[in-house]
Structure 1
């Protein structure tokens, strides 16, 4: 009897232990069976800021110079409002209103609400823009690294020295670094990287603003006008028009982050409701970026006037204070290293989901190999062989394209032009109309169509301007031979 009692006690203890383990396992999972999400308004804001405040913020002084004070400031405020307005429509579509089921990606939302044809169009626009951005980031990082080298060269050897450096080693270095960072398994583990990248974006933007403000205060500011660059010697009416189109496009695309909004929202905790938290994150992020955009654009224009350069930092030359310009370029590099991951994760996830669905029993595709002590292969440090091979190959290919086509930034501008309108404006508005069952030809419907039409015109105009840039780039095209 004593033996039986002891056996029963052991079984009871084992049963209790298993129960505790099941409860613990359940506590670590969300309502969809996936690992519990831990994101909040601040991590989501950091992701958005990392995606939005790119090095393009430094071109806003040039954009202001093309448009002038009135149109420039108005355009910045209008597009910030449009972005905030349409992003709230997307946030409300994350969960199905009937079943509460999550939509994990932008394309899922479009497929479930607008149908198959719109689903295909969304895939083309979203992933084309994301992949193009990665190539553009690689080029921009190499440009900033070369700027640091040139700055130091001029400082040591004099301003008349011949300082020329190849972009290729820095593109290769960027590619190698991103191969390692791309092994971060998913969006949920990017929070710290996004926070660092967001801080870096504030860093170089603040340096540009500070240098511009110092120039204005010293009385060396350039000539500015209400209507921007004036038609006259060196600039025709046609040139003025094309520049204005590109400026409108630069400002509009500077606010575009809808292509990663749903993936960011999928990192948020379930309580409070994700759409409420995401809307707060949108407000924080858009308000922050608009403040920096106004500072960079207005002070950049005030500092250099109608002769503002395409990059605010290069307007100060590669001279003194050389260390401060170097620091700003280093911040650009660190920011884009993080932004690369924010833009690449949706691409990685899409391909990996397809492959896992096709070969669910393959160890090469699904098995995780833990790194370090312990047997927890699902922990923070693990390697999946397919993920390693696919993501590394993708980064290598993106780096190869960057080295082969260094004028790809003009191509990226074109991709941004054709991707901005459907992703930031058209799809969110159509989703809102369908979700709210809005009747056609009502005042609300007409107002949404007006926003739709205006943004379409801006996108087409910017696309035409970028095609002109691509044409100029092709005339000077020499693969793998880029020095500055």
Structure 2
């Protein structure tokens, strides 16, 4: 659950302000926990059948064809977008590690560090399944907790900056509004995880006496407690220390103690190596299934080798082309993560369970749907503006 999006939360706070920022952090935690509970419950709602893929749940709710058209594009955008963001994050973290450890060394361009990060993915992408990356995922989980803790403890150690400002940095009302929109997407991206939750639950054994949802829900509770322990201190303390001057990646704002900041960036690198695989495994499964079942390709090691290498190369190319961490978080958070995380589970729940109109369940789901629709409409607008502004001063493929 804990992703690299946590690093952008202090910057999102600086664009939202104290009141809206803290409110959105807590509200997003509650809403996404609720929608995740719905997905865990719906995994085995039909006796003797398990919905092991998000699109299978969509097909059950909306029909064979419509379910695919509604769910698959959204899920793909989340997973591909997550892969691209993690490519940028991994490269930026390795660059920061290099520059911190060896400040006198010749500067190496970000593009090359993204390529270095991608080289690990070319190898790991040939592991056969989710269970094969359980060790990588464990390391990633430990790393995410470590670098989140370092981010806020190092901020506390640094102390509140002289002349710190908590007022909005925007020069005019238009910029203020667009920055606010972008921040909505950044917060949404931090809570990404629903797009692969059913695939993860599918790996848990299930019996009538002990259905998989029991173990899965325990895992979700533990995950969300860790999410709160990681996200909230980083967001609130990072903003408190740096104010509106905080970088779109909190670890870039921190400089000392250099050994600790270098270690934190290395932890981020290790973490996103695992996170990239968690987001990418379902994409491999989807692409290979379409090639074999729809396009009559023969399943073989060569097909697998080609598909996975081409996909990793594609995400690497996009990451090198637009390595704008803040803008990408806002765009993919609003456009991609919000539907699958904030309101699609609610729509499916209403469609399948049909709760009584104006009951608690009915009202709760409609509130989540309305809030989610606001984010999906507004966040990409602010994020695209941010990307365009960054692109004006960026030399592509530098």
TM-score, normalized by the shorter chain, greater than 0.5 = yes
3-state SS in 2 of match to 1:83? helix
- Report whether the alignment pairs 1:189 with 2:132: yes
- Report whether the alignment pairs 1:462 with 2:379: yes
Q: Is the CA contact (8 Å cut-off) linking 1:249 and 1:462 kept in structure 2?
A: yes
- Report whether the alignment pairs 1:170 with 2:118: no
- Report whether the alignment pairs 1:444 with 2:361: yes
What is the CA–CA distance in structure 1 between the aligned matches of 2:273 and 2:90, rounded to whole Å?
8
Q: Is the CA contact (8 Å cut-off) linking 2:185 and 2:379 kept in structure 1?
A: yes
What's the Cα RMSD here?
Answer: 2.4
What is the CA–CA distance in structure 1 between the aligned matches of 2:7 and 2:98, rounded to whole Å?
20
Q: Is the CA contact (8 Å cut-off) linking 1:222 and 1:306 kept in structure 2?
A: no
Q: Is the CA contact (8 Å cut-off) linking 2:127 and 2:133 kept in structure 1?
A: yes
Partner of 1:215: 158
Partner of 2:52: 104
**Which blocks of at least 5 consecutive residues in structure 2 are unaligned?**
none
What is the CA–CA distance in structure 1 between the aligned matches of 2:115 and 2:82, rounded to whole Å?
17
Partner of 1:324: 260
Q: Is the CA contact (8 Å cut-off) linking 2:58 and 2:71 kept in structure 1?
A: yes
Partner of 1:55: 4
Partner of 2:180: 244
Partner of 1:259: 195
- Superposed CA offset, 1:94-131 (max 9, x none): 1242x421112101110122223242121111102211
Alignment of 1:55-134 (within 5 A): 55-97=4-46, 99-115=47-63, 116-134=65-83
1:479 is displaced (CA, Å) by 3.4
What is the CA–CA distance in structure 1 between the aligned matches of 2:163 and 2:282, rounded to whole Å?
43
What is the CA–CA distance in structure 2 between the aligned matches of 1:221 and 1:262, rounded to whole Å?
48
1:409 is displaced (CA, Å) by 6.1
Higher alpha-carbon Rg: 1
Q: Is the CA contact (8 Å cut-off) linking 2:143 and 2:270 kept in structure 1?
A: yes
**Which blocks of at least 5 consecutive residues in structure 1 are unaligned?**
1-48, 158-162, 367-383
Partner of 1:390: 307
1:352 is displaced (CA, Å) by 2.1
1:437 is displaced (CA, Å) by 2.6
- Report whether the alignment pairs 1:300 with 2:238: yes
Q: What is the aligned length?
A: 395
TM-score (norm 2): 0.91
- Superposed CA offset, 1:435-473 (max 9, x none): 323234545323321221122112322111111012224
Q: Is the CA contact (8 Å cut-off) linking 1:245 and 1:461 kept in structure 2?
A: yes
3-state SS in 2 of match to 1:277? helix
Partner of 2:206: 270
TM-score (norm 1): 0.76
Q: Is the CA contact (8 Å cut-off) linking 1:402 and 1:408 kept in structure 2?
A: no
Q: Is the CA contact (8 Å cut-off) linking 2:14 and 2:168 kept in structure 1?
A: no
Partner of 1:341: 277
